Amino acid sequence: MEARKLAGALGAEILGLDLSRGLDDAIVAAIRRVWLEHLVIFCRDQDLPPERLLALARCFGQPVEYPFLQALPGFPVITPVVKLEHERVNFGGLWHSDTAYLEFPPMGTMLIAREVPDWGGDTLFANMYLAYETLSEGMKRLLDRLVAVNSSAKADVTKTREDRLRDGARADAKHEYTALHPVVRTHPETGRKALYVNGGHTVRFDGMSEEESAPILAYLFDHQTRPEFTCRFQWRPGSLALWDNRCAQHKPINDYHGHRRVMNRVTLAGDRPR
């Protein structure tokens, strides 16, 4: 097993592993160490049909259901992430941390490519440790005591679900999920502080109006996705990514209109941010 850095800020590609086989505890622990160090890891050319994908995900955490969309038939914790040839908007197509509007947002997300366009459809990732650590001391003092209100109904992110909800909405989904989380969270495994607001879900600071919160949030949304905090991954069929939602954000790039892209996603249960 070899880990090769993808960029200066985050990201590593793991070479020399066939993830379709059973992984012993030592290999799982080694992968997890690389994951915690690099925030997002990638493996290529993996043969992982749904049952094997699920078995792999369970090596790293407890898979949980996504609240809005129907799952893959027979696999309630595997969510299809699809953009069809005629669609113009891609699912989750903005900077975000997955389902930050839940009381217990996921620890991590595992995504595997099934069908990809000949070009385009890459995903960007950003390091929220760096986003926090590069702030001024004054801004850190301000943010360390603030709590953010996160909502699933923020307008920009709801637009990225519309195509999928049209045919694949869950009957039991709520109209809106809302959760309050610290603006700066401490990673439970590394002990490092990370900025935990995102443009997809954070609407305001608790105790403040949206209008009062907007200038600071706008600055943070811009700051946390600076190019030097990011890496970019180009997918191929069988490519797999595992990212840490507690300290990383991601954005799938919508630059392949007229082409089809099909992924399968598993999210892993997390704790309440602190």
Q: Which residues are catalytic?
A: 96, 98, 250, 265
Residue 222: burial class (beta carbons within 10 Å; 0-12, 13-18, 19+): exposed
212-217, long-range: CB within 8 Å, 24+ apart, which pairs?
216/142
| Alpha carbon distance 207, 180 (integer Å) | 11
Strands 12-15 and 40-43: parallel
With residue 203 as reference, give the H or E element that holds it. strand 202-205
| Alpha carbon distance 41, 35 (integer Å) | 6
Q: How far is CA 125 from CA 79, 96, 154, in A?
A: 20, 10, 21
User: Are 36 and 51 spatial neighbours (Cβ–Cβ below 8 Å)?
Assistant: no
- The one-letter code for the residue type at 246 is R
> How many C-beta atoms surround the C-beta of residue 60 within 10 A?
18
Q: How far apart are the first and last CA of the chain?
A: 34
